[in-house]
Amino acid sequence: MSLTVVGSMAFDALETPFGKTDKIVGGAATYISLSASYFVEPVNVVSVVGGDFDQDHIKLMHQRNISTEGVQVKENEKSFFWSGRYFNDMNSRETLVTELNVLGDFDPIIPESYQGCEYLMLGNLAPQVQRTVIERLNVRPKLVVMDTMNFWMDIALDALKETIALVDVLSINDEEARQLSGEYSLVKAAKVIMAMGPKFLIIKKGEHGALLFNEDKVFFAPALPLEEVFDPTGAGDTFAGGFIGYIASTNDTSFENMKRAVIYGSALASFCVEKFGTERLKNLIQEEIDARVQQFVNLVKFTTIEQ
Ligand code: AMP
């Protein structure tokens, strides 16, 4: 099944308690496409970069069968730049700089070869642009998953709500779910947000796992307790890429299959945080992924005394 991903491709400068990076490659579409590439091929990316973007990274994407035909290159402009700093617990961070640059007036182009895709992942980006991508597809995909962040809730709430109304699955973190719904309880927040349109809601809770809601049902996936979390940047996007990649590879959008997809997403995210940036996602092997998924199974498997 084919998957199209839209989102930022970026330079990030990160500060964690373990160190600092200069500009390294990041961006929502970068993490999502790398992660999804372990499940489906090709992964079709829609994005925009400046003339300064890293060509080696584009080569890596091609090696992983990620199509960049829908990635516009604005030779005389600068790529999107984001800088963030993590606090000691690594669960929360502050944005230091957001320079939209080429993303400021991004007009997404959908190549003919992407038309007819069954799965669409709207990575973090201006909600108006996410919506334009849905509108420019000739056929509505079987499943549309959307990720967003507080930045857009602060500056474009109305447009954000319009886009949310058009998607099947929304993926946000706990703080954002509270901000979007005005409810502290995540169960109440989920009800309010699902009433905005999406049938499914994923609430990510960093090292405390993720919740998947649908109607009155809820599923909980833990995050793997890791000895070392080096850099959480991109974990949410990597999760989303694994989630939709797994669903696309199985072509099954049932709640039962989404539970498995949440675990695959969590497994991929657990690799992402082990090194800075995209480093750990560049060359995973299938055996490592399978072994990690098994660790999740073992983590939560138990029997009651009667069994
Ligand atoms: P995550 O850690 O999964 O929330 O995603 C981190 C990535 O999101 C970084 O690589 C950033 O480049 C990207 N990012 C941060 N802010 C924005 C924004 N306002 N729009 C699009 N992408 C962003």
For residue 124, the CA-to-ligand 1 centroid distance in Å is 6
Q: What is the pLDDT of residue 55?
A: 97
Which CATH architecture does the domain made up of 3-300 adopt? 3-Layer(aba) Sandwich (3.40)
Q: How much is the pTM?
A: 0.96
Is the minimum distance from the CB of 278 to ligand 1 under 6 angstroms?
Answer: no
- Distances from the Cα of 125 to the Cα of 17, 28, 198, 259, angstroms: 27, 8, 18, 26
For residue 10, the CA-to-ligand 1 centroid distance in Å is 8
Q: What is the pLDDT of residue 92?
A: 81
Q: What is the pLDDT of residue 307?
A: 65
pLDDT at 91 over 80: no
Is the minimum distance from the CB of 28 to ligand 1 under 6 angstroms?
Answer: yes
Strands across the sheet with 169-173, in order?
A: 66-74, 43-50, 3-6, 119-122, 143-147, 169-173, 200-204, 210-214, 217-221
Closest protein CA for atom 1 of ligand 1: 234
pLDDT at 96 over 90: yes
pLDDT tens, 43-86? Answer: 999 999 999 999 999 999 999 999 999 999 999 999 999 999 99
**Substitution site in 149, 203, 243, 278 for ligand 1 pocket (most atoms within 8 Å of beta carbon):** 149
**Computed from CA positions of residues 148, 272, 90, 9, in that sequence, does the dihedral angle turn out positive or negative?**
negative
For residue 27, the CA-to-ligand 1 centroid distance in Å is 5
Question: Once rounded to an integer, what is the mean pLDDT over residues 33-48?
Answer: 97
Is the minimum distance from the CB of 123 to ligand 1 under 6 angstroms?
Answer: no
pLDDT tens, 265-275? Answer: 999 999 999 99
Question: Once rounded to an integer, what is the mean pLDDT over residues 192-209?
Answer: 96
